Structure 1
Amino acid sequence: MGWLLLFTAGCSEIIFALSLKYNEGFSKLWPSVVTCFSGAGSFYLLMLSLKTLPLGTAYAVWTGMGAVGVAIIGIFLFKESSDWIRLTSIMMIVIGIAGLKLTHVE
């Protein structure tokens, strides 16, 4: 259950970060509402996942999911760079996340 909560928290973190792009300094109502709710939801779900997962693992996976998700979405939505160094760096984060998951013993 902890991993499912953590995955959901990571997805909420991606929504939170993307909504920051659209709320323009909290001057637009609905993107600002999304920012507040997704940020609070992400933190809450992370907190719940910490009941069963180690702090270091959960926090690293949560931030890694956010970083990878936003970087990939940025490539498609905002035409950010997709050169091989960037893609390799993203892949290294994914490998790190997978390694943390694989080495976690319940």
Structure 2
Amino acid sequence: MAWIYLIIGGLFEVAFTSCLAKAKEATGIEFVLWITGFLISVSISMYLLFLASKTLPMGTSYAVWAGIGAAGSVIAGILLFKDPTDFWRMFFLFLLISSIIGLKLSSKV
């Protein structure tokens, strides 16, 4: 169950970074809505990290949570915000994803 918490928590990390990206372009009520989305997403993400770290080692939990969030944020940036997709950026994205998978495979939990 801890791994499920980490995956969902990482996805909420992608949500809060995306909300921040949208909030910087917004004004008025739209800004308030994006910031509210950020606050809700970051709260859920941190809580799920906390739940996962009750079972998994904190170092593993944090690395996987942050890695999912980082990789997901890069992918969201490419798909939603037209971020660049040059060779080195994609190479390191795949390296990051491979590292997350490696941590999962080497975990005893």
RMSD across aligned positions (CA): 1.4
Q: What is the TM-score of this pair, normalised by structure 1?
A: 0.94
The reply on whether 1:68 has 2:75 as its aligned counterpart is no
Listed one character per residue, the Cα deviations across residues 11-45 of structure 1 (whole Å, up to 9, x for unaligned) are: 10000111001123995111111000000110011
Give the match for residue 7 of structure 1.
7
Q: Which runs of 4+ in 1 moved over 6 A?
A: none
2:71 partner letter? V
2:73 partner letter? V
Give the match for residue 88 of structure 2.
85
Give the match for residue 32 of structure 1.
35
d(CA) in 1 for partners of 2:93, 2:24: 27
Shift in CA distance, 56/26, structure 1 to aligned 2, threshold 3 Å:
farther
Q: Quick one: percent identity of the two aligned structures? A: 38
d(CA) in 2 for partners of 1:82, 1:24: 22
Deviating more after overlay: 67-76 vs 21-30: 21-30
Shift in CA distance, 69/40, structure 1 to aligned 2, threshold 3 Å:
same
Q: Number of residues paired by the alignment?
A: 106
Q: What is the TM-score of this pair, normalised by structure 2?
A: 0.92
| Structure 1 unpaired stretches of 5+ | none
| Structure 2 unpaired stretches of 5+ | none
